[in-house]
A and B are shown apart, each in its own frame.
Chain A
């Protein structure tokens, strides 16, 4: 019995003339992500992509449950399912449906059949297919009964151009747009809970993300950097490849501590982080910065503080978590598997030299005056020049900090 995966496109199916370019991008992303699992034949028709596993040169075929798991983490997919391929012939459809779904149906109490007949040349109409297949299945599985309103199992038959497909699961895809279709952006990745979630949310909208992280040895440790690399690795499951930039930040932090008023430390530090991020972003072709800030969460994330930070930015700053509560952010972090890593207790650069009483409502002119008291430019250049880049691709394993 031949089994394939059907992938239903997300909102890109609604696009007009450039729909094709979205589809191509999605197919490319899927191919790249599944390549290591085996060889597949891809065909696309009627807003659906058919992933058909093929025997490879050693006669092996990919494990479809693993394929399905990966497909579920690719943006641009509204829904997907594993389906059994049938001849376009009712007796084949009913025989294979009973066989393919026997485990599911023998466990269930109620079911219904749902038919979609996009090939109108097929002799039976959709309601006929439902009725007839329902009758066959009822006979095979005497414990079942029909419930069209709230069935435990919905058996779906899709009669399409070349084949018919039977399945009983329609899994929700990751949604969004194919990564790469919306350009590139630079994510400020601290190692906390929020920033990986922010990166994931922006990637979901089709953005290819790069990540930037600031290290301040000896105030921060190698373990803290490894933790962030591990977060990057986790994100690649969803976001595809990530270029990771690691900025040496110690001298700048010490300069702020030595030359600026304590209560402005965090804001000035954030402005300088943004400055470095946008310089590297420009080199990398990133059109925006992404942060994990959530309004009012900490002193540097008040509206006044963010206004001061943004005044140092020449590109848009996206803050997808801005309206979310911590609990909502944590829910996503758990879902995307970054939470456990994020809560590892290593000091990061944001917590070095934090003022006892930071300004909650800083005034831009005061901040600018305080920052102007010292010439940061040489240090910024030195930091940019000293930045190290590391590329994470899906399946790449960072050294872990378990």
Chain B
């Protein structure tokens, strides 16, 4: 099996699996219980919290566990706009956000907010466009750090720093799902007040996400109940998956730059392999994340190619897996339309992907282009 769909989800690492197993078999108490079993579960949860906090260069009091990044994004946008958006009604966002942000923005639009979406010009985002779109009436600025469909790295640190200097009241949110554990993500350097993270994109297993909330920033809860996570996210904490995410972060955090180097080499390899196949075009920017590459396969429809590759036990995705094949509009934003957009495949690697796997993929792709019609 050659798994090249790591932007959709990753295989849980052994550390995460054993942490989850331990939490399920030994520390199965409810963290809210007053007795020792409860305390043990709480300590396990808090140690995961601390690991995540350390990785962001912040305190554990700023880390809130959720069920995943979709919930984190919902909580960030709905919660912050509810807390700060009574008078200020404008939200600035990028035009290429993940559905969990974009759909939430649309819901906020229906609730009376004005959303300004900044598009790339000639395939590039300009920091100035974001800064200039912000004003005194803006409550929230949200932009993803790394695009999930093509690996484009948005100028989050520049934009947030410039915006916070001029408009300290604007709450800055970034969806770092595809950046976390791949690029250095430091709350301070990004100048972000809200950061969404996902466990299952970093080998931590599905069912756990994180919202970082900078100290002093208010977010009103979306889910109410027993007051867990300081009342920000009620519901008995998912200790096993949080522990798994913590274990994955602990295992990955020290090697971010080495893995990046390896990913860059793999990407170079992939680029040269793709350039040898007639009709294959690369849609990702050269300076994007090496972990995600969007290609267009010579006009062959994405889904057909995907299933062709699947027959060869090679797994990639058509655009973004979350949108289940539906076109997201992101390629269009980057100027990719028509047949080229219909034939997009997303190849997303990990640092552990081998050059041989890429070669096999390239061969299969070449064969597919030659044999598949449509």
Interface residues, chain A, with chain B CB atoms under 8 Å away: 63, 65-66, 103, 107, 221-223, 226, 340, 397, 399-402
Contact = CB atoms under 8 A, between A and B. Distances in A.
Interface in B59-81: 60-61
Contact of B39 (A103, A107, A223, A340): A223
Nearest to A222: B39
Nearest to B36: A222
9 contacts: A63-B188, A66-B188, A107-B166, A226-B39, A400-B50, A400-B60, A402-B46, A402-B49, A402-B61
A103 B46 contact: no
A18 to B, nearest CB: 38
Q: Which 7 A-B pairs have the closest CB atoms?
A: A400-B46, A402-B46, A399-B43, A222-B39, A397-B50, A400-B60, A223-B39
Interface string B19-41: 00000000000000010100100
B46 A399 contact: yes
Contacts of B50: 397, 400
Main SS class of interface, B? helix
Contacts of B43: 399-400
A168 to B, nearest CB: 14
Contacts of B188: 63, 65-66
A264 to B, nearest CB: 31
B87 interface: no
Contacts of A65: 188
Interface in B204-247: 230
Contacts of B230: 402
Given A66-B188, A221-B34, A400-B46, A107 B165 contact: yes
Given A221-B34, A397-B50, A402 B165 contact: no
Contacts of A221: 34, 39
Nearest to A221: B34
A397 B42 CA distance: 15
Nearest to B45: A402
A402 to B, nearest CB: 5
A223 B46 CA distance: 13
Given A107-B166, A402-B45, A402-B60, 10 more contacts: A63-B189, A65-B188, A221-B34, A222-B39, A223-B39, A399-B43, A400-B49, A402-B42, A402-B49, A402-B230
Interface residues on B, range: 10 to 19
Nearest to A104: B165
Nearest to B49: A402
Contacts of A63: 188-189
Contacts of B34: 221, 223
A255 B129 CA distance: 73
A226 B60 CA distance: 15
B47 to A, nearest CB: 8
Contacts of B46: 399-402
A341 B49 CA distance: 16
Contacts of A66: 188
A372 B16 CA distance: 59
A226 B40 CA distance: 12
Contact of B42 (A107, A340, A401): A401
Nearest to B34: A221
Nearest to B38: A223
B83 to A, nearest CB: 18
Interface string B155-192: 00000000001100000000000000000000011000
A236 to B, nearest CB: 14
A65 B190 CA distance: 13
A397 B34 CA distance: 22
B334 to A, nearest CB: 31
Nearest to A66: B188
Nearest to B60: A400
Nearest to B31: A402
Contacts of A401: 42, 46
Nearest to A69: B188
A285 to B, nearest CB: 33
Residue from A107, A222, A340 whose CB has the most chain B CB atoms within 10 Å = A222
A226 B46 CA distance: 12
A66 B186 CA distance: 12
A214 B13 CA distance: 43
A400 B63 CA distance: 13
A239 B45 CA distance: 28
A66 B58 CA distance: 11
Given A399-B43, A400-B60, A402-B61, A103 B165 contact: yes
A342 to B, nearest CB: 13
Contacts of A103: 165
A152 to B, nearest CB: 14
Nearest to B39: A222
Contacts of A402: 42, 45-46, 49, 60-61, 230
Contacts of B49: 400, 402
Contacts of B60: 400, 402
Residue from A103, A107, A399, A402 whose CB has the most chain B CB atoms within 10 Å = A402
B163 to A, nearest CB: 12
Nearest to A340: B61
Contacts of B189: 63
Contacts of B45: 402
Contacts of B61: 340, 402
A221 B42 CA distance: 14
A71 to B, nearest CB: 16
A221 B33 CA distance: 12
Contacts of A222: 36, 39
A401 B38 CA distance: 11
Nearest to B189: A63
Contacts of A226: 39
